């Protein structure tokens, strides 16, 4: 029995799963390794591959000392397989097996369901790195560039985490799936990534911040519910991934916040009070608040689509099987089986949006989406506090869940951001008021000028309040390779 | 009225509500609503398990309060309240363990009470490991610094932390409690040692630190430490101290005055400077007193630091055939240099060593200021308020 507290760090693949005593899996992963390194090398522009980046590397799973900060070249980053410590006598937390001992091996009857969930989760990890591959060239500071690369290498590690599970528990099928994770590619015509939002480009830094705030938060909710899985290795993998994921939320929330702060401060300095005087604000070289709201509308609604159908048999089956729990399942006080329970679900009835009670088991996705919306709303409050502090009269809002949707009950209708149903023609006519158009994108793109002097920030974004790892303001987070 | 206590609080402007701290807290002291994450002062036992996992650093905040902020108050915050004028000027908490805080308060007394960190200092981590829950380190090296013939035995001890994160800044101290019990069967008391290596380790990016220990014939802890062998395990608490820190500003001039093992933090300062701004010249001065040259720790390595980088002045009080010479005498010999530094708003003064040195140095500053038409009694409080005057004596 491997001792999970100790990490094998001197091996090709750092791990705390006793890989050196599991020759079959070790061999399989070592075979997969070169393909991964090739994928990484082909992806990230060469100049950054040879630069020294001040990165956090997971080196353990003890909360007191799980990570180390140091300069590394990204291709030399130690991508490892790390599982959170086992919880003694852990039980299946939900569904028909609730209370039974958690599974250490894949239960035969749930094999394909589990594999599918792991593959979908695994597919999103490299996808986001692909989407963000060119952002390094327009980083507004070395601090932001470092944060981008930190997010990237950790998404890479999360891919490793899922690939380990596939190799370890799913035999030949698992190996094929692991290979496919490197074959599919974001935005590709022939082999796109599995989920829509992960095939959209991330064209600029505001998109990146919105993506890490909204889309990575979907990832967080999915990881949270997989962390509740009765399949213990999956639970432990996801629990550890969440430790890293928190930084990604941080990058998004503070990135948008700093953009807003810079805009408000520039407006104050120039004596502009009307946030809707877009041309005047843009002339200051900052992003006007209504355009930031439009970006928010876009990314929030794309992320809502990731939660799938409000009423879903697949989700009900996964919950009932004990494969996937609800957000913070073990903290919820109910029977964890949802026999006879109901949950309020929005429905379209006769062209109107109404809330009806649906069987809670079928409404698992809806519930997770509601938890997500609550979680996402917190940051909006913070952003509004930044605006209010400067005295500008403007508030950011989350749009109605019916706005701009492609999946679920709202896919069939068009609504305004406050949820009023309108005709498709009206929606198209007013679309530019609510969602970023090409001109907005062009304007934002025009601001994306790299700033590579330590301690300096591009004109459209404020410096952070605290440095990474308590570093001082002018710390050189990336030592750029000058070729 | 209750004695003031150090309350653990979370900065709502930086926190992103990831609730990682809540998961990490072993006793359920952390909770949240839709907006804020808060720590229950009645439950928190300052075990520090939540500090390292926090991705933002928002968790590492403390307020000295007479009555703790309630959960309801904390939930209503949109920003951290300022530190009330109870204790420390800038709300910096030097240590959470009360006995350690008392030791540091005593050591910093000579500066005129609770000090203030330099404006450009990095934010220190404090008390990540308590006496009850110490970090485990291994002796990576132990060397005698003074010659075998010297009556004073001072040892340089390098402690390696393996994979444990123990982030220190130059000027901070660590706590070591010797194992075992005293004659009355009580546990030995913790001793503090100033870290003598820079924040990134003895060599850059090593996870170790060094301390400088003088063997005291009757000192339980110094004998314990000086007798350690390579590979031995040592339990370490800390880091402690949040004011005796160096400025990050490369323009700042560091005027460092020490005796004996008081040189430890200055070794760290000097090495840090040499690593971060090796090209900067004329921005550090050292006045170092000892009985004799062979009892002066780091004499050899110090001589290798170029004079253009570090202006070095030694004072020996027991050198055969020479009159007694103390650090204050060395200061007076460089009167015009010191007078210029006292007038310079970039100058930071650090005094570290035996308490007995304070009076003489104080008098020297007094005189040098007067002779150059300045008033030390006005300069000192101003420097203190600006975080530019620091005393750590024992």
The Cα of B78 is separated from the nearest Cα of chain A by a number of Å equal to 7
Alpha-carbon span B391 to A73, nearest angstrom: 41
| Chain A residues lying within 8 Å of B55, measured CB to CB | 246-247, 249-250
- pLDDT, residue A69, reads 84
CATH number of A19-479, picked from 3.30.2130.10, 3.30.70.20, 1.10.760.10, 1.10.620.20: 1.10.620.20
In this predicted structure, the answer to whether residue B176 has a pLDDT above a threshold of 90 is: yes
Rounded to an integer, the average pLDDT of B276-294 is: 88
What tokens appear for A409 in the block? Answer: 């009950």
The label of the residue with tokens 């006080």 reads A333
Q: What is the CATH number of domain B5-87?
A: 3.30.70.20
| Chain A residues lying within 8 Å of B207, measured CB to CB | 68
CB atoms within 10 A of CB B163: 16
| Chain B residues lying within 8 Å of A59, measured CB to CB | 163
Closest partner CB to A65 (pick from B18, B123, B165): B165
- pLDDT, residue B88, reads 45
| Chain B residues lying within 8 Å of A60, measured CB to CB | 163
Residue A469 CB contacts under 8 Å (≥ 6 apart), including other chains: A54, A56, A69, B167
The Cα of B318 is separated from the nearest Cα of chain A by a number of Å equal to 43
Mark yes or no for CB contact A243/B13 under 8 Å: no
CATH number of B253-393, picked from 3.40.50.80, 3.20.20.70, 3.40.50.720, 3.50.50.60: 3.40.50.80
| Chain A residues lying within 8 Å of B76, measured CB to CB | none
- pLDDT, residue A347, reads 87
Mark yes or no for CB contact A7/B53 under 8 Å: no
Residue B100 CB contacts under 8 Å (≥ 6 apart), including other chains: B94, B127, B131, B175, B190, B192, B237, B238, B240
Whole-model pTM: value is 0.76
- pLDDT, residue A335, reads 92
Alpha-carbon span A438 to A441, nearest angstrom: 5
Which B positions 27-56 lie with beta carbon below 8 A of chain A?
34-35, 48-50, 52-53, 55-56
Closest partner CB to A470 (pick from B14, B24, B57): B57
What tokens appear for B387 in the block? Answer: 């975080």
Phi-psi region of A338 (alpha: psi -120 to 50; beta: other; left: phi over 0): left
Alpha-carbon span B361 to B340, nearest angstrom: 16
Cα within 13 Å of Cα(A219), Cβ side: 32
- pLDDT, residue A277, reads 96
Q: In what order do the strands lie in the sheet with B154-160?
A: B191-194, B173-176, B233-240, B135-144, B154-160, B208-214
Which B positions 111-150 lie with beta carbon below 8 A of chain A?
120, 122-125, 128, 135
- If one compares A351 and B198, the residue with the highest pLDDT of the two is B198
pLDDT 10s digits, A281-290: 999 999 999 9
- pLDDT, residue A1, reads 40
Mark yes or no for CB contact B163/A242 under 8 Å: no
- pLDDT, residue B322, reads 85
Given a cut of 70, the residues of chain A with pLDDT beneath it are 1-6, 62-66, 482-483
- pLDDT, residue B125, reads 86
In this predicted structure, the answer to whether residue B138 has a pLDDT above a threshold of 50 is: yes
- pLDDT, residue B114, reads 67
| Chain A residues lying within 8 Å of B34, measured CB to CB | 374, 377-378
pLDDT 10s digits, B307-336: 999 999 999 988 888 888 899 999 999 999
Between A and B, how many CB-CB pairs are < 8 A? 81
pLDDT 10s digits, A366-396: 999 999 999 999 899 989 999 999 999 999 9
Chain-centroid distance of CA A96 in Å reads: 30
What tokens appear for B184 in the block? Answer: 């009355």
What tokens appear for A180 in the block? Answer: 């496919």
pLDDT 10s digits, B50-98: 887 887 888 988 888 888 999 999 999 988 888 776 544 445 678 877 7
Alpha-carbon span A23 to A162, nearest angstrom: 18
Q: Where are the domains of chain B?
A: 5-87, 135-240, 253-393
Q: What are the φ/ψ torsions at residue B60 (nearest 5 degrees)? A: -95, 65
- With cut-offs at 50, 70 and 90, classify the pLDDT of residue B42: very high
Taking CA atoms, what residue in B is nearest to A241?
B20
What tokens appear for A87 in the block? Answer: 């919880």
Cα within 13 Å of Cα(B115), Cβ side: 31
Q: How would you class A450 by CB atoms within 10 Å of its CB: exposed for 0-12, middle for 13-18, buried for 19 or more?
A: middle
Give the three-class secondary structure for A231: strand
- pLDDT, residue A289, reads 98
Domain B135-240 in this protein, CATH class:
mainly beta
Residue A432 CB contacts under 8 Å (≥ 6 apart), including other chains: none
């Amino acid at each position: 029995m491997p001792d999970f507290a100790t990490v094998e760090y001197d091996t090709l693949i750092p791990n705390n799963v006793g890989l050196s005593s599991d020759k079959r899996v070790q061999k399989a992963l070592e075979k997969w390794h070169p393909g991964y390194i090739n994928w990484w090398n082909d992806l990230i522009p060469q100049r950054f591959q040879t630069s020294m980046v001040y990165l956090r590397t997971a080196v353990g799973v003890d909360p007191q000392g799980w990570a180390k900060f140091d300069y590394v070249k990204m291709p030399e980053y130690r991508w490892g397989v790390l599982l959170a410590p086992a919880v003694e006598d852990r039980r299946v937390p939900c569904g028909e097996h609730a209370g039974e001992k958690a599974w250490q091996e894949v239960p035969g009857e749930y094999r394909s369901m589990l594999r599918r969930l792991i593959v979908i989760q695994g597919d999103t990890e490299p996808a986001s790195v692909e989407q963000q591959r060119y952002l390094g060239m327009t980083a507004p500071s070395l601090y932001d560039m470092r944060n981008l690369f930190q997010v990237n290498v950790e998404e890479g590690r999360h891919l490793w985490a899922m690939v380990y599970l596939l190799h370890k528990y799913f035999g030949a099928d698992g190996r094929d799936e692991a290979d496919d994770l490197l074959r599919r590619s974001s935005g590709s015509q022939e082999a796109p990534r599995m989920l829509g939002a992960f095939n959209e480009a991330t064209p600029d830094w505001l998109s990146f911040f919105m993506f890490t705030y909204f889309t990575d938060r979907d990832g967080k909710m999915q990881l949270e519910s997989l962390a509740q899985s009765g399949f213990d290795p999956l639970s432990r993998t996801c629990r550890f991934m969440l430790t890293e994921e928190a930084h990604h939320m941080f990058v998004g929330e503070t990135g948008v916040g700093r953009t807003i702060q810079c805009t408000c401060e520039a407006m104050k300095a120039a004596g502009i009070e009307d946030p809707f005087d877009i041309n005047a604000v843009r002339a200051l070289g900052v992003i006007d608040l209504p355009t930031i709201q439009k970006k928010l509308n876009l990314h929030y609604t794309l992320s809502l689509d990731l939660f799938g159908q409000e009423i879903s048999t697949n989700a009900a089956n996964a919950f009932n099987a004990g494969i996937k729990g609800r957000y913070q399942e073990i903290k919820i006080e109910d029977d964890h089986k949802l026999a006879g329970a109901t949950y309020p679900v929005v429905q379209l009835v006769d062209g109107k949006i109404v809330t009806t009670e649906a069987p809670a088991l079928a409404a698992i996705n809806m519930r997770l989406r509601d938890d997500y919306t609550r979680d996402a709303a917190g940051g909006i409050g913070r952003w509004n506090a930044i605006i209010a502090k400067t005295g500008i009269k403007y508030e950011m809002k989350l749009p109605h869940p019916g706005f701009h949707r492609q999946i679920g009950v709202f896919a069939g209708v068009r609504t305004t951001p406050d949820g009023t149903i309108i005709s498709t023609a009206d929606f198209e006519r007013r679309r530019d008021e609510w969602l970023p158009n090409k001109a907005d994108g062009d304007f934002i793109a025009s601001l994306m000028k790299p700033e590579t002097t330590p301690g300096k920030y591009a004109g459209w974004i404020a410096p952070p309040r605290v440095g990474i790892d308590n570093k001082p303001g002018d710390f050189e987070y990336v030592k750029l390779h000058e070729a | 009225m209750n004695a003031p206590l150090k309350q653990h609080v979370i900065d709502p402007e930086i926190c992103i509500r990831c609730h990682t701290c809540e998961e990490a807290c072993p006793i359920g002291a952390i909770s949240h609503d839709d907006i804020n994450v808060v720590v229950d002062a009645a439950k928190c036992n300052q075990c520090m398990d939540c500090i390292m996992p926090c991705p933002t650093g928002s968790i590492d905040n403390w307020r000295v309060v007479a009555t703790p902020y309630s959960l309801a108050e904390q939930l209503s915050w949109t920003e951290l309240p300022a530190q009330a004028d109870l204790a420390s000027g800038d709300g910096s908490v030097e240590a959470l363990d009360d006995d350690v805080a008392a030791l540091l308060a005593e050591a910093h007394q000579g500066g005129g009470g609770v000090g203030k960190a330099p404006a450009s200092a990095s934010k220190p981590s404090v008390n990540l490991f308590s006496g009850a829950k110490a970090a485990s380190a291994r002796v990576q090296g132990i060397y005698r610094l003074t010659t075998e013939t010297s009556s004073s035995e001072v040892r340089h001890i390098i402690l390696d932390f393996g994979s444990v994160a123990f982030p220190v800044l130059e000027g901070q101290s660590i706590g070591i409690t010797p194992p075992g019990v005293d004659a009355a069967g009580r546990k030995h008391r913790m001793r503090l040692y100033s870290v003598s290596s820079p924040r990134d380790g003895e060599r850059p990016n090593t996870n170790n630190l060094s301390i400088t220990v003088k063997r005291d014939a009757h000192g339980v802890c110094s004998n314990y430490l000086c007798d350690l062998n390579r590979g031995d395990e040592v339990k370490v608490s800390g880091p402690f101290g949040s004011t005796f820190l160096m400025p990050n500003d490369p323009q700042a001039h560091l005027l460092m005055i020490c005796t004996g093992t008081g040189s430890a933090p200055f070794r760290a300062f000097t090495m840090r400077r040499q690593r971060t701004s090796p090209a900067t010249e004329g921005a550090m001065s050292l006045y170092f007193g000892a009985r004799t040259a062979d009892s002066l720790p780091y004499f050899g390595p110090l001589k290798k630091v170029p004079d253009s980088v570090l202006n070095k002045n030694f004072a020996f009080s027991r050198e055969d055939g020479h009159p007694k010479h103390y650090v204050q005498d060395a200061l007076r010999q460089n009167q015009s240099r010191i007078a210029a530094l006292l007038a310079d708003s970039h100058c930071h003064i650090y005094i570290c060593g035996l308490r007995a040195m304070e009076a003489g140095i104080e008098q020297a500053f007094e005189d040098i200021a007067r002779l150059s038409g300045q008033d030390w009694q006005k300069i000192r409080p101003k420097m203190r308020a600006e975080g530019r005057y620091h005393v750590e004596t024992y």
